[in-house]
Every structure is written in C-alpha cells, then in structure tokens.
Structure 1
Amino acid sequence: MARVRYGARTEEEIAAARAASGRLPEIWSTGVVAVWETDPDAVAAVLPPPLKPTGSPLVRVNISTVDLPGQPLPLGAGSLAVAAAHGPVEGWYPLVMPMTQERALTGGREVFGEPKKLGEVTLERDEAAVAAALARHGVAFVTVRGTVAGELPPPEPARRTDFYFKFLPAVDGSGFDTGPVLVHCLRRERTRRLERVDGEVVLRESTYDPVADLPVLRLREITLGERTTAQSGRVVARVDPDALLPYVHQRYDDPLQILDAPAGGRR
C-alpha cells in the first residue's frame, strides 16, 4: 500500500523532524518598530488579570518581513503590544499579531498562546522613504510612514518578555475546556543594522482590530532594523477563568464586536 501521509508517523520520523528543527539557520528579519505613549487608562483596560500596567503607558508595533528557508514568498509578521507587568517582571502584552502565512500561525498560537491571526503585512522602502502597514478585513489599522534619517549603532543583544494567555474555549461555548494559563515568552534579540526613521504612526478605526483606542499621544521613536530572535516559553501561573473570560474576544474575530462602540461614544 502506498504511504498514507495522514497516517501516524513512526518514532524515527518524529525524531528526524525534531533533529531537523534544531538545525535551522539563523533567520533574520527586516522590520519597522515604532513606540509611542498612549492613554494610561486605555492600557489598563486591555490587560487581563493578573497583568498590570507599568509606570509608562507605552504601545509598541513591529512590522517585519522574513525570508524563511524553503518558502517561495517572504513571511509578513506583525505585532502590536502594550507595556505590562506580571509581579516584578515587566514586558509586553501583544493584542494582535497578524501573519501572512498559515504556517506561521500554528506554532505560536497553539504552543505559546500568541494572538496570531491571518492578515496583510507590508513593508516597503524606496531609497530613504519607508512605508509599513498591518491590515485585516480590508482595513489598514496601523500604518507607519517616514524617511530614514541616519544610521544608529546596533544595540547590544537584548532580552524581552512577552506575556500570553494560553486557553481553549469550551465546546459548549461557555467558558474554557481546561484552565487557562499565563505564559512568559523570553525573546533573545540581536540586531545587526539599525536606522532612525523620522515619520508618523496612523491608527485607523477597525471593528475587529480596534487599536485606534490606543492613540498616539507622544511618539517615542521609529526605527528600521535587521534582527534575529530566539524565543522560549514557560507556564508561570494558572489564571482565574472568570477573570480572563471578558477578554477572550481579543483573540478571535467575534461577530458581536460590531456592536462595540469606538472610543468616545457610539457610531
């Protein structure tokens, strides 16, 4: 009988797949990173317990393209996160992470609990002009535009913690099938080139990605860089299901979100 590829893999095949994943080359991305100060009440409102705001109400957006081995097209990868703390650990809580390929969704979403969704991620450079955007459902809800203003010295290797909630919604539509957990994802980042960008961040109203509720009150910086990142995660706490449930719509495109009012009142 011919090989049935949906059939069970042998132990040897599973071991070979694990060995191959450990031999992947360094993957470098080219990306725009913008950081701005926003409304502290808005940051506090989007953080599920036990996460709390830090002393700085910051938002960070990363819009990157990645050339993956064996893939004909580059991966577009984005993230918009707010500054957050879990006890003494400060880091970032991503609200939305658009990806242009299904393959990029599964590992982070199922393993780490990352809020990844299929979307459009674009990054273009024409000499000194830079334009980057995150879009879903026909709306470019984040756009970064600017002009490269000069080289910056690459920073030393850095460590960053991202916070994720890993859970499965219940089969009957009420609560969770198993107890949700809080994940600390440690990212070790190296930068080989960095440039300063003079520009702006534009947030547009979107029903399913309402990042416009985190307005740009003061732009801290925009940079364009080449980076590589390694990540590892661990479960650090069990989470109160009742406390997390009101925030689950952050993860999914809930049709009832069309009833939500934008900041400042009803439509």
Structure 2
Amino acid sequence: MARVRYGARTEAEITAARTANSALPDIWSTGVVAVWESDPDAVAAVLPPPLKPTGRPLVRANISKVELPGYPLGAGSVAVAAAHDGVEGWYPLVMPMTHERALIGGREVFGEPKKLGEVTVERDGLVVRASLARHGIAFVEVRGAVSGALPVPEPAQKTDFYFKFLPAVDGSGLEGDPVLVHCLRNEKVRKLEQITGDVVLRESMYDPVADLPVRRIVEITIGEKTSDQKGRVAERVSAQALLPYIHQRYDDPAQVLDGPPEGSAAASGGSA
C-alpha cells in the first residue's frame, strides 16, 4: 500500500521534524512600533486577573513584515503594559497575521490571540505608513516620516502574557482551568530609526482598540530585528474569572451588543 500521509509518523520522522524546527536560522523583520500613553482606567479594564496594570498606562502597536524564505508574512499586535508576579511585560489583545500557518501555531501552543488580517508596512524614502486591518477596517494606522537614526539597543529579553484555554464542548464555560503563559523573547536589533508622526485608531466592532485612546505618543520607530521565543506556564487561573474576557479572542456576532456609546468619536489620533 502506498504511504498514507495522514497516517501515523514514525518516531524517526517525529524526531527529524523537531530537530529541523529547533535549527531555524535568524529570521529578520522590518517593523514599525508605536507606543502611547492611554487612559489608565481603559488599560486596567482589559486586563484579566491576575494581570495588573503597571506604573504607566502604555499601549503598543507592532506592525511588521517578516522575511520568511519563500513565505513572506505580515505580523502585528496591539498590546497593553501589564505585570504579573513581579514581572512587567505586554498583554496582546489582538495579533493580526496574514497567513494561517503563523496563526495556528501561536494560538494552539502559547494561547496567542492571533487572527487572520491585513498587515501593511510601506516606506517611500523617509515617509512611512503602517496599518493593521480586519473586516475592511484599518483599525490602527501609523503615519510619519523618519527623523533620524537611533542607537542600536543591546539584545534584550521581553515578556508577553497569554491565556491558554479551550471553550467547553457544550458551549458553556471552559474545559478545565486556563493557564497563564509567560512568553519570553530574546530580541536582537540591527537597525533602528525614529519616526515623527501620529497614530490613528478607527472604530471597529471586532477590534475595538479605539477604546484605548492616544493621550500622548511616547515613541514611534522603524527597525530591523529578529527574536526567538519560548513559553512557560506561570500558573493556573480561575476559569470563572477569565470568562468575562474570552470574547477578546474571538469574532463573536454578539459583539454587536458591545457597540460604542452613541455620539462617540469614530477615530482618535495623536501627534509626536
């Protein structure tokens, strides 16, 4: 019988696949990062326990083009500053990816809130535009011009927080207790430039980052970087405590009930 590829792999094949994955070369991306101070109450409101706000109500948009060999990828995230058990890092609310391959692994392994979307990074001379879009709405847009080179930072380890969980089969609650994941990234930068510009947030029912308004831009940069990542389970958390927040992960038609107050602005922005 010819080999059936959906059939069980041999131990040797499993080992070979694991070895190949662990020996990947550095993969460099070109990305725009915008950090702004937002409303403290809004930032605190999106953090599931046991995550807590940090000393500054920061929001970060990361918008990148990743040069995967033969498989270019657009990858982005919008995250808020958070702390857990003495560790400060970022809690991503949405992570648009342009390919399913990048989406599935991150969601299933780490609990990353990845969703298919459109990611744009454009540079024409000194002029830069980057955006994250889903459902036809560019809900985050960063616009500006390169205003100078910045010192290349030393390699650094950064932490993202994720909740890994599975909805219950019967549609009520979760299957077991979720876990809080600390995802550690060792980041190297080879080029970094400052951008003078602004951040525009547009109203989207499914990606309501406009609820995290731009009060003051801290920095906007464009750079070339690479990183690896590994995760660890920090603790098990209460399913009941996490349930009010799991809509962050999904495009739920019931979100029509979460619409913005009447008369609210459709977009917000700030200038450096």
Instruction: Bin the TM-score by the shorter chain.
Output: over 0.9
Query: How far is 1:263 from its partner?
Result: 5.4
User: What do the CA deviations read for 1:138-164 (whole angstroms, capped 9, x no partner)?
Assistant: 000000010011111101111111000
**Structure 2 contact 205–259 (Cα < 8 Å) conserved:** no
Question: C-alpha root-mean-square deviation of aligned residues, in Å?
Answer: 1.2
**Structure 2 contact 201–209 (Cα < 8 Å) conserved:** yes
Partner of 1:229: 227
Q: Which amino acid aligns with 2:30?
A: T
Q: Which amino acid aligns with 1:104?
A: A
Q: Which amino acid aligns with 1:195?
A: E
1-side partners of 2:208 and 2:146: how far apart? 28
Partner of 2:73: 75
**Structure 2 contact 176–239 (Cα < 8 Å) conserved:** no
Partner of 1:246: 244
Query: How far is 1:261 from its partner?
Result: 2.7
> Which residues of 2 match residues 27-176 of structure 1 at below 5 A?
27-71=27-71, 74-176=72-174
Q: Which amino acid aligns with 1:28?
A: W
Matched position secondary structure for 2:177: coil
Partner of 1:192: 190
Partner of 2:26: 26
**Structure 2 contact 78–95 (Cα < 8 Å) conserved:** yes
Query: How far is 1:265 from its partner?
Result: 6.5
Q: Which amino acid aligns with 2:48?
A: P
**Structure 2 contact 146–196 (Cα < 8 Å) conserved:** yes
Moved more, 20-29 or 197-206: 20-29
Query: How far is 1:136 from its partner?
Result: 0.3
User: What do the CA deviations read for 1:92-115 (whole angstroms, capped 9, x no partner)?
Assistant: 000000000000011111000000
Q: Which amino acid aligns with 1:170?
A: A
Q: Give the counterpart of 1:214 among 212, 222, 228.
A: 212
Query: How far is 1:10 from its partner?
Result: 0.9
Q: Which amino acid aligns with 1:20?
A: A
Query: How far is 1:126 from its partner?
Result: 0.5
Moved more, 62-71 or 180-189: 62-71
**Structure 1 contact 93–164 (Cα < 8 Å) conserved:** yes
Change over 3 Å in CA distance of 1:179–1:68 after alignment to 2: same
Q: Which amino acid aligns with 2:242?
A: L
Partner of 1:5: 5
Q: Which amino acid aligns with 2:128?
A: V
Change over 3 Å in CA distance of 1:26–1:236 after alignment to 2: same
Query: How far is 1:26 from its partner?
Result: 0.5
User: What do the CA deviations read for 1:201-259 (whole angstroms, capped 9, x no partner)?
Assistant: 00000000000000000000000000001111100111011110000000000110011
Gaps of 5+ in 2: 266-272
Change over 3 Å in CA distance of 1:31–1:266 after alignment to 2: closer
Aligned length: 265
2-side partners of 1:89 and 1:59: how far apart? 17
The alignment's TM-score, normalised by the length of structure 1, stands at: 0.97
Q: Which amino acid aligns with 2:119?
A: V
**Structure 1 contact 83–92 (Cα < 8 Å) conserved:** yes
Partner of 2:270: none
2-side partners of 1:5 and 1:137: how far apart? 35
The alignment's TM-score, normalised by the length of structure 2, stands at: 0.95
Matched position secondary structure for 2:170: coil
**Structure 2 contact 30–64 (Cα < 8 Å) conserved:** yes
Query: Percent identity at matched positions?
Result: 75
Change over 3 Å in CA distance of 1:31–1:215 after alignment to 2: same
Query: How far is 1:87 from its partner?
Result: 2.2
**Structure 1 contact 43–214 (Cα < 8 Å) conserved:** yes
Q: Which amino acid aligns with 2:204?
A: S
2-side partners of 1:67 and 1:266: how far apart? 39
Query: How far is 1:70 from its partner?
Result: 3.8
2-side partners of 1:49 and 1:11: how far apart? 40
Q: Which runs of 4+ in 1 moved over 3 A?
A: 263-267
